[in-house]
Amino acid sequence: MSSTSSAAGIRARVATVLAGVLLMALPGTPVAAAPAIADPAAPAQPGPPHIVGEQTVPAYSYADAIRESVWVQTRADTDGDGVRDRVAVDLVRPREAAAAGIRVPVIMDASPYYLCCGRGNESERKTYDAAGVIAKAPLFYDNYFVPRGYAFAAVDLAGTARSTGCEDVGGRAEVGSATAVVDWLNGRANAFTADGQPVRAEWSTGRVGMIGKSWDGSVANGVAATGVPGLATIVPISAISSWYDYQRYQGVLRAADYPGYLHSYVNGRGDEACAQVLARLRTDSAEETGDYNAYWAQRDYRPAAGRVRASVFVAHGVNDLNVTTNQFARWWQELAEQGVPRKLWLHQAGHEDPFDVRRAEWVATLHSWFDYWLQGLRNGIMDEPRVDLETAPGVWTTQRDWPATGTRKVRVALGAGDGVTGTLGGRGARPGQERSYVDGSLTESALVAEPSTAAAGRLVFLSGALTAPVRISGSASVRLRIRVDRPTTELTARLVDYGTAERIQYGSSEGVRTLATESCWGAATAADDACYRDTEEITAVTDHAVLTRGWLDAAHHRSLRFSSPLRPDRWYTVTVPLNAYDAVLPAGHLLGLVLGQSDPEFTETDDQDATVRVDLGRSELILPLVGRAGLPRVDVAPPVVTAPPAQPAPARTGPWDNRQLP
């Protein structure tokens, strides 16, 4: 073990112990620290009714819960009206606990989606009664946890729904609007009722756990990166940790006007109120350059991992094409280096909540996690393996950490093969042996189909048939020595598993099917029944699958902060990073590396029609492999692979639009 990893491990253990001590010591906690010397004759002091042993139980009425709205004042005036922004917070909390003077912690989901678009698989929106009081909060968090001694806070981010201000899409105003709510729950910020009366959160212990999928989880990451006191834990699900990496792929534009699109989609104000903010988003994001600048640095939470005081429970799908896997993987790595207490769930579906993948186990784990970090209950969850991993459809395992213990970086040489299909493994080509390809703007289906057949617009390299299972765990990359006859071009790379297997079908459905049956998760009212349609993973037996992808604007090969146009008479060494992945390739399968250029289904670029020459002997694939198994040696001709021909590309009547909602 290196000294760095050893120190990180020590910090993690110390942080876990200190966090537990602080949880027990904070004022208002419903669990009192034990006295140094107990009197056996003294009667036992009763605890709050929602705690039995080391677990919370449903002890309070959900139907009779206190439902109220407050508007928390932030530090910003984003709409420039001379008044600081106020964010709407809809609260549900146990009435009996309030009557007994029992303070409760808060589970909080801060979202831009509550009224515009909805949350969860069934796109639930907030609903209100005739007096404007919250009647239904989306998702099951309030139904399940309020009877167990928690409050739930559904926060409308600045500029959305019933909040004032303007949305700045991952920026300081957005993060600050959620941070202000944590401050209010700890007595450090002001809040008001609808009629302007000041209101304090005297019922709160001050301990807050943030949770949310996609944009909501991204906000949780951003708030944790501020180090705000009182935020005890976050549960980011399919969440963004760098907005640059969400809207740019290593200098390549994902889609035009993405910041403006996201702002306008969730904007809860009139167009004129936020026109200046929208204009700044479009200008400062520097779409014309693709550079990482001050705008993007403000929306990159990873460098601030050292400020994180909260524990972090990450959940993500390894086949998420919306919020790609590097978002969790790089955040996870930064948190690990800082010794942040953490936990990870990885499933094989796409942009999905674990509630719709492994429902009962997810709710039980979430319950234990919040009980530990918000209620101070010693339930053993931090003694369990850190990672839950879906290795095949419906097959789960646990492991100590991620990437898997024993992962090593393996350099895999590229060979010329038979002149049509190159090889992966073995001695590889001699330096100076070249292959070239012309940009074909191919769809992914065309890129990876029939790898043993010549096709313009790509280069394909195949391993031999695997003699033993091979596991990839972590982030691969492709190091290329290239010459390009244009100032730049998009470079793309894909790892493909060629071999028959049952796989999650994670395309437009995200790999999950909604069923006709339903199950209920918590208490109910007439307005909110806590019942949700059941789901199942969608699988099919296929003969190949793309594992992971990577993109690079070649002119950004030196730095993402500036471009360096390529000269046609020079060779350049560039690295195309691939998204993090975890998979086991069975014996008999082949691993393929497919190189392309412009990628219309995933990105948008005007730099097309370039010819790229690749020096195979000075290029390589770098794989994160677990254990000693590697790729079989292939020195001359690659195996012949018969795969279905490419499917016709989708009809294209105008520019591609790759914008999605996080």
pLDDT for 177-224, tens place per residue?
999 999 999 999 999 999 999 999 999 999 999 999 999 999 999 999
Alpha carbon 90 to chain centroid, angstroms: 25
Active site residue 300: no
Q: Which one, of 165, 200, 468, 214, lies nearest residue 316 by Cα?
A: 214
Active site residue 214: yes
- Residue 510, both tokens: 């995200």
Q: 459: Cβ–Cβ under 8 A, 6 or more apart, which residues?
A: 422, 435, 437, 594, 595, 614
Digit-coded pLDDT (tens) for 222-256: 999 999 999 999 999 999 999 999 999 999 999 99
- What was the pLDDT predicted at 30? 34
Task: Give, as one character, the DSSP assignment of residue 616.
Answer: G
Domain boundaries, the chain: 55-399, 407-503+541-626
Q: What is the pLDDT of residue 431?
A: 96
Q: How far apart are CA 561 and CA 554, in angstroms?
A: 13
Query: Binning pLDDT at 50, 70 and 90, where does residue 129 land?
Result: very high
Give dist(CA 141, CA 126) in Å, integer.
13
Nearest Cα neighbor of 347 from 312, 386, 388 is 388
Tokens, residue 537: 């993973």
- Quote the tokens at residue 369: 């996690």
Cβ contact 624:442 at 8 Å: no
User: In percent, how much of the chain has pLDDT > 90?
Assistant: 86
pLDDT band (50, 70, 90) for residue 270: confident
**Which residue carries 């297997």 as its tokens?**
501
CB distance 462 to 423 below 8 Å: yes
Percent of the chain residues past pLDDT 70, beyond the cut: 90
- Confidence category of residue 657, pLDDT binned at 50, 70, 90: confident
Q: Do 116 and 163 touch, CB atoms closer than 8 A?
A: no
Q: pLDDT by residue (tens digit) across 323-346?
A: 999 999 999 999 999 999 999 999
Strands 248-249 and 252-253: antiparallel
Class level of CATH domain 55-399? alpha beta
The tokens for 156 are: 């409308």
**Which residues 6+ apart lie within 8 Å of 634 measured at CB?**
415, 417, 423, 424, 425, 426, 462, 463, 464
Average pLDDT over residues 623-640: 82
State the catalytic residue, choosing from 163, 177, 214, 241: 214
Q: What would the two tokens of residue 426 be?
A: 């073995």
Decide the pairing of beta strands 422-424 and 459-462: parallel
The Cα 330–Cα 566 span in angstroms is 29
Q: Which two tokens stand for residue 634?
A: 């292939």
320 is annotated as an active-site residue: yes
638 CB-near residues (< 8 Å, 6+ apart): 417, 418, 421, 422, 423, 452, 461, 462, 463, 464
Predicted TM-score of the model (pTM): 0.91
Amino acid at 214: S
* pLDDT band for position 145 (cuts 50, 70, 90): very high
Q: Is 422 helix (H, G, I), strand (E, B) or coil?
A: strand
pLDDT digits (tens, 9 = 90+) for 403-443: 999 999 999 999 999 989 999 998 899 999 999 999 999 99
Give burial (CB, 10 Å; 0-12/13-18/19+) of 27.
Answer: exposed
The SS3 assignment for 24 reads helix
Give the helix/strand (H/E) hosting 314: strand 311-317
Q: For residue 272, what are its two tokens?
A: 């004129």
pLDDT at 39 over 90: no
pLDDT-based confidence at residue 641 (cuts at 50, 70, 90): confident
Which helix (DSSP H) or strand (DSSP E) does residue 181 occupy?
Answer: helix 172-185
For 96, phi and psi rounded to 5 degrees?
-65, -40
Crossing angle, helix 275-284 and helix 258-266, to 10 degrees? 160
Distance, C-alpha 397 to centroid of its chain: 21
Amino acid identity, residue 146?
Answer: V
- Residue 24 has a pLDDT of 33
Percent helix, strand, coil in the chain (nearest 5)?
20, 30, 50
- Residues 519, 530: contact at Cβ < 8 Å? no
Locus of tokens 């699988």: 539
The CA dihedral of 132, 137, 143, 149, to the nearest 10 degrees, is -70
Q: 418's torsion region: left (phi>0), alpha (psi -120 to 50) or beta?
A: alpha
> Exposure of 37 by Cβ count < 10 A (0-12 exposed, 13-18 middle, 19+ buried)?
exposed
Annotated active-site residue in 320, 439, 497, 599: 320
**What is the b/e burial string over 288-302, where b = at least 16 CB atoms within 10 angstroms of the residue's CB?**
ebbbbeebbebbbbb
Q: Is the pLDDT of residue 390 over 60?
A: yes
Q: Which amino acid is at 76?
A: A
**Active-site hit among 316, 351, 556, 557:** 351
Which CATH class for the 407-503+541-626 domain?
mainly beta
> What backbone torsions phi and psi does residue 260 show, to the nearest 5 degrees?
-65, -40
Residue with tokens 């009224």: 115
Q: Are 632 and 588 in contact (CB under 8 A)?
A: no
Q: Please, which pLDDT band fits residue 649 given cuts at 50, 70 and 90?
A: low
Band (46; pLDDT cuts 50, 70, 90): low
Half-sphere exposure (Cβ direction) of 525: Cα atoms closer than 13 Å: 21
Residue 508: CB atoms within 10 Å: 8
Residue identified by tokens 């966090």 is: 19
Residues in the chain: 662
Residue 129: helix, strand or coil by DSSP?
coil
Domains 55-399 and 407-503+541-626 agree in fold:
no
